[in-house]
Chain A
């Protein structure tokens, strides 16, 4: 079974702090994704990566950056956390390209920024 793990289930940070969210997958997947999920807005793609050291902006990259130094690990960084970044953050991974590959999700990190 594919396993995608996220470093924390719940996280509380203060405004202005630098926040690191870690995601690790154990299936040698090429593709990794970061989404955020908010009530009424569904899942929105923040960043994704097709390979090590590669990254692509999603729909809402502002205020975020990512790092993919190893194939199995994809980190989401909030350079200076703000209250509007309070959300559920979901990491996903998949194998293959374009459309038919299945994305597998981690359990999510619920971030509260005070």
Chain B
């Protein structure tokens, strides 16, 4: 079962920052937070991941709260091509299986 909670949908104006929240209140100390997105009819695309520090790469920033119970994915300047379903996933480091458990995700609609 997915261990994260995300809003089912969000809108964002093109050119503005998109802030996608994720609640993972039962996260353990050795679990990473991963974000993927899936554009319609394509395979999921890796975006970013982190443990407890904020992370930034060329696609996005990940802000994790100090208690690690929630996080926010930030797309700094959303474009129409960022319209997709965004999945927040927690993964155990050192676990017996490497499978990803995708929840229902957030459908981000970027509006022109």
| Residue numbers in B under 8 Å from A98 (CB-CB) | 92-96, 98
Compute how far the CA of A33 lies from the CA of B94 in the bound complex, rounded to whole angstroms.
18
Number of interface residues of A (CB under 8 A): 28
CB distance from B27 to the nearest CB of A (A): 13
Question: B41 contacts which of A45, A94, A110 (Cβ < 8 Å)?
Answer: A110
Overall SS of chain B's interface = loop
Interface-central residue, B46, B96, B103, B104, by most chain A CB under 10 Å: B46
Contact A45 B2 (CB under 8 A): no
Check A33/B99 contact, CB under 8 A, given A100-B32, A110-B41.
yes
Question: In the complex, which range does the number of interface residues on chain B fall in?
Answer: 20 to 34
- Summed over the interface, the residue pairs from A and B with CB atoms below 8 Å come to a total of 66
Given contacts A42-B104, A98-B93, A99-B32, contact A59 B44 (CB under 8 A): no
B100 at the interface (CB under 8 A from A): yes
Whether B91 lies near A99 (C-beta < 8 A) is yes
Tell me if B45 counts as interface (CB < 8 A to partner A).
yes
* Candidate in B30, B42, B92, B96 with the most chain A CB atoms within 10 angstroms: B42
User: Which B residues touch A48, using CB under 8 A?
Assistant: 98-99
Q: Which residues of B does A touch, CB under 8 Å?
A: 2, 30, 32, 34, 41-46, 49, 91-104
Q: Which 10 pairs across A and B sit closest by C-beta, in order of nearness? A: A105-B43, A99-B93, A45-B99, A42-B102, A43-B102, A108-B43, A105-B44, A107-B43, A98-B94, A99-B92
Q: Considering the complex, which residues of chain A in the window 58-114 have a beta carbon less than 8 Å from any beta carbon of chain B?
A: 58-59, 88, 90-92, 94, 97-108, 110
